Every structure is written in C-alpha cells, then in structure tokens.
Amino acid sequence: MNRESVVAKKKFGQNFLKDQSVLRQIVEAMPKNDNKIVEIGPGLGDLTKFLVDVKSVEAFEVDTDLCKLLQSTFKEEIATKRLHINCGDVLEAWQSELVSEPYDLVANLPYYIATNIILKALADPMCKNILVMVQLEVAEKFCASSGEKVFGSLGVIAQSVGTAQIVVKVPPTAFDPQPKVDSAVFLIQKKRDRNDKEFEDMLRVAFSQPRKTLVKNLSSKYDKKLLQEALEELELALTIRPHQVNTNDYHQLYKLTRSLDGRKDTRGSTK
Ligand SMILES: C[S@@+](CC[C@H](N)C(=O)[O-])C[C@H]1O[C@@H](n2cnc3c(N)ncnc32)[C@H](O)[C@@H]1O
C-alpha cells in the first residue's frame, strides 16, 4: 500500500491534516523542554515528519494498514530509535501512565475520543503538556474563562491543573477529507495532575443544568440551607449561574461542602 491508495476510515476519525502552515504552527507552539513526544494517531505521518526532526517520538496508531505504511515511510527513524510505533488502540494501552518517562502529547486527535484522551492525559503524571488539534467547540470548552457561556467542568478542570489557550483555529479546508466542523489547536501546560474525583463529581452536579442557578443544581446533592450559607460565606449571589463562578471559588465551595456534609450528618442524627 502507498499513501495515494489510502482511503480514510470514518470509524477511526481519519481527517488528515494537509495544510503545511498549520503543521508548522503546531511545531512552533511546542513547549521548549527535553520531554519525549507522544503522538496519538500519526495517520499518514505528515505531523510525525515534523516531530521526528525535533525530538524522539512514541506514536500510537490503531489502523493496521496505516501502521504498515508508517513502518515503511519511517524505516530510518525507526532504526535509529527516533520513532517507535505502537500498533493498537491507545486507550487499551493506557494504564495510569501511557509511557514511563516525562512526555508532551502532540497530536491531531481522532475527534470521537478526543475529550477522553485529553482527560486521561491530564491525569497521567508522566504527561507534562498537551498540544492537540480537536473540534473547535471542544477546544473552546477547555480554554474558557468563568463568565463565558461555554465555561463548564472541562474549563474548571483545565484551570485546576494549569493553563489552557487556543493556538490557532483551523477551517475544514485544511484537511482531507474535510470534517464537518471547525477545528482548533490548543495548548494545556500542566502544573499538576488531575486527581480529585470527588471534586469532579461536584462539578458534574454543579453544571448538570447550565441555565439553572448553581444552588438549584447543587441542592440535588447538598442540603439547600447549608449550601446557601456556603455561598454567602464566599460572597456569591444565590442567583449565580454555574458558568459565572470562577475556578478558585469552585475549590473553596468544594472545601465548604465537605465540611457542610459533616454538619448535615450531625443535624440529621439529632432529628
Ligand atoms: C484526525 S486523524 C490524524 C492523522 C494525522 N496525525 C494527521 O494529522 O493527518 C486521527 C488519527 O488517529 C487514529 N486513531 C483513531 N482512533 C485511535 C485509537 N483508539 N488509538 C490510536 N489511534 C487512533 C486514526 O487512525 C488516525 O490516524
């Protein structure tokens, strides 16, 4: 098989990035450090070509046809250990750490599992930075600030582990075949790992009905009166909507709700 005869497989989210200027912008946005690069879904190897020029790359590709093609395209880089290709589903290979040394994830991700991959990378202690192309809507959620309509649990999680910013927005014409949606490359620079499941459970409830008030949403999990006391302590209006609360206040609220939980139990036992 040669690259001209490859037919993109929809089931693997194959939209190959053809625009050379976007490929260059991805490489230019890479944080300068000694970390290894992990690329998920190298596809035809267009981004890989740029990456192996800069650093050594560990790649994960699910499509066995593309794996064979990559193995013949990158014979030399594989022989000199500049590139290692793992053939198979990255999600199956991913235990708590995807590789055993510090790495930056750089990829044009398959959109059908992009959010899942990013959340796993945020929790992976070996992953230090994430520079990925995803659907624009998803990038905007991770990079949103409080007050913006799209600010939700993904934005709070990203801000809790580090900083997130859009690098470049990319139109469908940059790909072959063209996706139906706009895309964007964005960068998360991690300062710590995502590791607080209970905090994220609270966020899920807080944003369960984004147009309702925060109190209304959280009262399905916490005593409403105690919740109101917590909001007053944080000087947050009782009418505040979930997207209007900032990340720091979500962490404060989480601490308070945990202590409130104790008080709720105490109140309950005296009834
Ligand atoms: C959007 S394409 C990007 C291809 C290439 N990096 C580019 O920029 O042109 C996504 C790639 O991810 C691969 N892929 C999809 N699901 C995967 C999975 N579960 N594990 C590893 N690779 C996967 C696809 O086969 C495809 O090569």
Q: Among candidates 240, 98, 96, 136, which has minimal Cα distance to 84?
A: 98
Q: What's the CA-to-centroid distance between 40 and ligand 1, angstroms?
A: 6
On whether both 215 and 241 belong to a single domain, the answer is: yes
Known binding residues: 15, 17, 41, 61, 89, 108
Q: What's the CA-to-centroid distance between 236 and ligand 1, angstroms?
A: 44
On whether both 243 and 209 belong to a single domain, the answer is: yes
On whether both 163 and 39 belong to a single domain, the answer is: yes
Residue 131 belongs to some domain of the structure: yes
250: domain CATH number is 1.10.8.100
Residue 127 belongs to some domain of the structure: yes
ipTM of the predicted assembly exceeds 0.85: yes
> In testing the pocket of ligand 1, which one of 6, 9, 11, 14 has its CB within 8 Å of the most ligand atoms?
14
As a whole number of angstroms, the distance between CA 129 and CA 170 comes to 21
Q: What pTM was computed for the model?
A: 0.95
Residue 23 belongs to some domain of the structure: yes
On whether both 201 and 164 belong to a single domain, the answer is: no
Per-residue pLDDT of the chain (271 residues; tens, 9 = 90+): 788 889 999 999 999 999 999 999 999 999 999 999 999 999 999 999 999 999 999 999 999 999 999 999 999 999 999 999 999 999 999 999 999 999 999 999 999 999 999 999 999 999 999 999 999 999 999 999 999 999 999 999 999 999 999 999 999 999 999 999 999 999 999 999 998 999 999 999 999 999 999 999 999 988 888 899 999 999 999 999 999 999 999 999 999 988 766 555 544 433 3
Q: Which residues have CB under 8 Å from 219's CB, separation 6+?
A: 227
Q: Which of 161, 190, 219 finishes a domain?
A: 190
Residue 202 belongs to some domain of the structure: yes
Nearest residue CA, atom 5 of ligand 1? 43
Q: What is the pLDDT of residue 263?
A: 52
On whether both 86 and 141 belong to a single domain, the answer is: yes
On whether both 178 and 224 belong to a single domain, the answer is: no
Residue 210 belongs to some domain of the structure: yes
On whether both 36 and 170 belong to a single domain, the answer is: yes
Report the phi/psi class of residue 81: left, alpha or beta, with left for phi > 0 and alpha for psi in -120 to 50.
left
Q: What's the CA-to-centroid distance between 146 and ligand 1, angstroms?
A: 32
On whether both 170 and 246 belong to a single domain, the answer is: no
Structural domain boundaries enclosing 214:
197-266
On whether both 80 and 209 belong to a single domain, the answer is: no
Q: Which of 190, 222, 240 finishes a domain?
A: 190
Question: Which residues line ligand 1 at a C-beta cut-off of 6 Å?
Answer: 12-17, 40-44, 46-47, 60-63, 66, 89-91, 108, 110, 113
Structure-token match 């966020």, residue found = 203
On whether both 57 and 175 belong to a single domain, the answer is: yes
**Helical ranges in 14-171 per DSSP H:** 20-28, 46-54, 64-73, 75-79, 90-93, 114-123, 136-143, 153-161
> In testing the pocket of ligand 1, which one of 61, 117, 120, 131 has its CB within 8 Å of the most ligand atoms?
61
Residue 59 belongs to some domain of the structure: yes
Q: What is the pLDDT of residue 261?
A: 63
How many independent structural domains does the chain possess? Answer: 2
Residue 35 belongs to some domain of the structure: yes
Token pair recorded at residue 111: 């959109």
Q: What is the pLDDT of residue 70?
A: 98
Q: Among candidates 142, 168, 234, which has minimal Cα distance to 25?
A: 168
Q: What is the pLDDT of residue 104?
A: 98
Coil, helix or strand at residue 190: strand
Nearest residue CA, atom 10 of ligand 1? 110
Q: What's the CA-to-centroid distance between 151 and ligand 1, angstroms?
A: 28
On whether both 182 and 205 belong to a single domain, the answer is: no
Q: What is the pLDDT of residue 269?
A: 39
94: domain CATH number is 3.40.50.150
Is residue 187 within 8 Å of residue 131, measured between CB atoms?
Answer: yes
Q: Which of 134, 166, 190 finishes a domain?
A: 190
Q: What is the pLDDT of residue 268?
A: 42
Which residues on adjacent β-strands are paired with residue 58?
Answer: 38, 84
Q: Among candidates 251, 253, 261, which has minimal Cα distance to 223?
A: 261
Measured from the Cα of 63, ligand 1's closest atom is 25
On whether both 142 and 162 belong to a single domain, the answer is: yes
Residue 271 belongs to some domain of the structure: no
